[in-house]
Chains A and B, each alone.
Chain A
C-alpha cells in the first residue's frame, strides 16, 4: 500500500481531548507524525492578567480537570513566593494530603482511560470505580467533586472535617487490596504485556532532551522528582521514596510507564498515611495575606503528569502583570514523532495513552 496521511482527531477516541495527530503510514507502519495542538486554547494566562491574584485559582482549577488541585497549588506557591507569605504547618500538611489524593485520582483517571485504548473496556470501569472513592474523599473538605478551589493564597480553604482520617484510611486499605487484585488482570496478563512491552520506547537522555518530565521520565529509570529536587510543602519531612522503573537499560516503554504510575499510587498512599501521623494542630490560613505584589516569582512543582512551571510578574497592583504557565504535556506531545516512528498503527493509542495526555493544561 502506498504511503498516506491519516488525520486522527480533533475528535477521535485516541486523543483523550481535542487535538489532531496526523500520521503518515506505510501500510500499518508509522513513517511520520505531526501533532497539532491549540483546539482547546482558552487564553488562561491573559485572562489571569485581568483578574486579581486570589481570583485566578478558579482558572487554574480548570487547567486540567483530572488534576485540578495540583495546578492550583502550583499557582498558589508562586503567588506566595511573590508576596512572601508564610504558610502555617498544618495547612502545608493538609495541602500535601490533598495533592497526593489528587495524584491518586489523576493516575486512576489515566489508568481507566488507558485500558480502552488497548481494547479493554472493563479496566476503565474498574479504575474509574476506584477514582470515585478518591473524588469522594476530595469532596469532603472542599465541597465539590472535580474543581475544588481548595488551595488558597496563604493556606487552605478550611480545615479537614471530622472523621476524615478514618474515612481516608478505610478507602486506602480498600484501594491497596484492589490494586493487588488488578495485577492479575493487567500487568500479569499475557496479552496486556504483548501490547505494551517494547512499544513506544525512548531513553532517559532522549526524554530529557525532548523535555519529557514526570512519570514518563521516571519510567526511564531517571530519579528525578521535584518533590525532592526542589522541595516544597513538607515533602522532606515525610518518609517516602522516589519510584523509578525501566524497561531496559535506561529506556522506557509503555509497560514501564504503566508500572511507574502504579508504583507512584502506592507511594502516594504511603505519603498520605505519614502525613496523618505527623500532622500538628494549628491554624490553616496565614494571618496576613496581602493583595498587592511586585517583583517576579518562579515556582515549579511535580504535577501528576510532570513539571508544572509557574512564572509570575507583579507590578505593584493587585493583578499579575504577566503570568506564564509551562505545562509538561505540551512538550511531551510535541515530541511524539520521535517515539511514534516505526511502530504500528495499532500502537498509537497504546503509546499516546501511556504518556497520560491532558489537553486542558496543554493548550491552556
Chain B
C-alpha cells in the first residue's frame, strides 16, 4: 500500500464519519447558511473532495516526517561538532528547566531526573525554538519593510516545500511528479532570490554583500550541478526519482553487486557532492553568511523566530540535498530485503549528512573568487566529461557492440 492510498482511505473514513455529517448537521440547524455548507458537504462526499483531502494528509505526513528528521539532523550536527571539538554538546536542558522551576516555585520541584543527564540534549532544540519565539521581531528603521518580510517567506517556504517533493521510497511519496527531480532543483533555486531580497531590503552593507555573494555563487555552482545530474537522467532516461532508483536497482556489476550511479559516474558524483554542498550553503561554501567579515551576512538584521527559521530552513535544505544525492547516486531506497526501503533511504541520507558535518567542522571557508574559479574552470569541464562518459555508455558502446558483437558491459 502506498502512502497516497493510505491517505485516501483515511480521507474517505474522515469524510464519511466526520466532515460530511458535521456539515450536513450544520446545514440543518442554520438554514440561511445552507447553500455554501451544503455545497461543501456534497463536495467532500464526491471523489474530488476525497482526493484533495488525501493530498492534504499525504503532504502533512511528509512534512511531519521531514520536521522530525530536521530535529534529528540539528541534534546530530551539534553532538558531532561537539565531539570533534572535544566537548560534550547539548545534554543538560532539563537542568535548566528544573532551575527555572525552582526559581518560579521558590522551592525544589517534586520531579527530578536520576543519574546523569546524558541523552536528553535533543530537547535543547525545543528550548531554542521557544527562546526564538519569545524574542522581538526587529525591523530596521530604513529597511524596505515589505521586502524585509517577504525575504524570509520566500526562503523558508521554498525550503519547506522541498520536504514534500522527494519520495522516501516508491510507496512513501507525497508527490509523484514525472519530472520530480527537475521540480526539486527548481525549488532549490528559489531560495537565493529570497536571500537576495532580504539582503537588499535590510539596508545594510553587510547584508547586501551577502545577498550579492549568494547570487554570484548561484551562477557558479548551479550549472555544473545540473550538468552532473544530466548524466544520471541520460542513464535512467527519466526525471522521475522512482525510475532513477529502479534503474540503479536493476544495474549490476561484478558478481551481481549493485552498480549504483556513483560507480560508473564517479566524476559526476564528486562534482555533484561539491555543488550540492554549495547549494545548501554549508562550510566551506557558506560565503553569503561569512561571519568573520560580514558579521552574519544576509541574516544580520533578522531576529527572533525569523532568524531561527532561516537556520532551520538551511538544515531542511541540507536534508533535501542529501536526499537528492542519495536518489541520484547512492541507489535511493535500494538495499537488501529485511530492512524496509524507507530505512535504507534514511540511512544513506544520514551517512551523507554525517560526512558533511565532518567537513563543516574541519575546514575553513573559501573565498568568493575561489568558488567562482572552482565552479567555472574545474567543475564545469569535469561535469561535461562525465556526460561524455555516460553518452559513451548509453549510446556509442551499445551501437558498436551490436555491430561487432561485443559483450554487454553496461
Q: Residues 361-383 of chain B: 1 if any A CB is under 8 Å from the residue's CB, otherwise 0?
A: 11111111110000000000000
Number of interface residues of B (CB under 8 A): 30
Interchain nearest-CB distance for A35 vs B (Å): 16
Interchain CB contact (< 8 A) of B293 among A122, A125, A126, A345: A345
One of B39-47, B284-292, B399-407 at the interface: B284-292
CB of B292 within 8 A of CB of A116, answer: yes
With A13-B295, A122-B84, A125-B87 known as contacts, the answer to whether A28 contacts B290 (CB < 8 A) is no
15 contacts between A and B (CB under 8 A): A116-B292, A119-B283, A119-B364, A121-B85, A122-B84, A126-B85, A191-B364, A192-B363, A192-B364, A195-B364, A195-B365, A195-B367, A346-B292, A349-B292, A349-B293
Decide if B292 touches A119 in the complex (CB within 8 Å): yes
| Bound-complex Cα distance A6 to B295 (A) | 12
User: Taking beta carbons and an 8 Å cutoff, which residues of A are in contact with B?
Assistant: 1, 4, 6, 8, 12-14, 28, 115-122, 125-126, 129, 185, 189, 191-192, 194-195, 344-349
- What residue of chain B has the Cβ atom nearest to residue A195's Cβ? B364
Query: With A14-B292, A348-B293 in contact, do A28 and B369 touch (Cβ < 8 Å)?
Result: yes
Q: Which of A117, A129, A346 has the most CB of B within 10 A?
A: A346
B368 pairs with A12, CB closer than 8 A: no
Contact check: which of B81, B286, B291, B369 meets A344 at CB < 8 Å?
Answer: B369
Docked complex Cα distance between A216 and B407 (Å): 65
**Shortest Cβ gap from B301 to chain A (Å):** 15
Question: Is B362 a contact partner of A13 (Cβ separation < 8 A)?
Answer: no
Cβ A344 vs Cβ B363 within 8 A: no
Q: B205 contacts the other chain (Cβ, under 8 Å)?
A: yes
Whether the pair A119, B365 counts as a contact (CB closer than 8 A) is yes
Contacting pair B361 A14 (CB below 8 A): no
Q: Is B86 an interface residue (CB 8 A)?
A: yes
Distance A189 CA – B295 CA, assembled complex (angstroms): 25
Could you tell me if A13 and B86 are in contact, using CB atoms closer than 8 angstroms?
no
Chain A residues with Cβ below 8 Å from B184 are none
Q: How far is the CB of A192 from chain B (nearest CB, A)?
A: 5
User: Could you tell me the distance in whole angstroms from the C-beta of A343 to the nearest C-beta in chain B?
Assistant: 10
14 A-B pairs besides A6-B209, A345-B293 with CB distance below 8 A are A12-B295, A14-B293, A115-B364, A116-B292, A119-B290, A119-B291, A119-B292, A120-B362, A189-B363, A191-B284, A194-B367, A195-B367, A345-B209, A346-B365
The 8 closest A-B CB pairs, nearest first, are A119-B365, A118-B364, A349-B292, A120-B364, A125-B85, A346-B367, A119-B364, A117-B292
A292 to B196, CA, bound (A): 67
Q: Are A118 and B205 CB-contacts (below 8 A) given A125-B86, A194-B370?
A: no
* Known contacts A115-B364, A118-B365, A125-B85; is-contact A6 B292 (Cβ 8 Å): no
C-alpha spacing A345/B205, complex, angstroms:
12
Give the residue of A4, A119, A189, A344 whose beta carbon is less than 8 angstroms from that of B205: A4
B56 to chain A, nearest CB (A): 42
Q: How far is the CA of A122 from the CA of B283 in the complex (A)?
A: 12
* Residues B287 and A129 in contact, CB atoms below 8 Å apart: no
Nearest CB of chain A from residue B231's CB, rounded to whole Å: 26
Q: Is the CB of B212 within 8 A of A194?
A: no
In the assembly, what is the distance between CA of A335 and CA of B1, in Å? Answer: 72
- By a CB distance below 8 angstroms, the chain A residues around B206 are 6
A117 to B294, CA, bound (A): 11
Closest beta carbon of chain B to A253's beta carbon, Å = 14
How far is it, in angstroms, between the C-alpha of A344 and the C-alpha of B212 when the chains are bound?
14
Asked if B361 and A347 make an inter-chain contact with CB atoms under 8 angstroms apart, the answer reads no
Question: How far apart are the CA atoms of A278 and B36 in the complex, in Å?
Answer: 99
Residues on B with beta carbons closer than 8 Å to the beta carbon of A347 = 367
B369 touches A6 (CB 8 A): no
Please measure, in the bound complex, the distance between the C-alpha atom of A192 and the C-alpha atom of B292, giving whole angstroms. Answer: 15
CB contacts (< 8 Å) of B81 on chain A: these are 122
- Cα–Cα distance between A6 and B207 once the two chains are bound (Å): 12
The answer to whether B363 touches A194 (Cβ under 8 A) is no
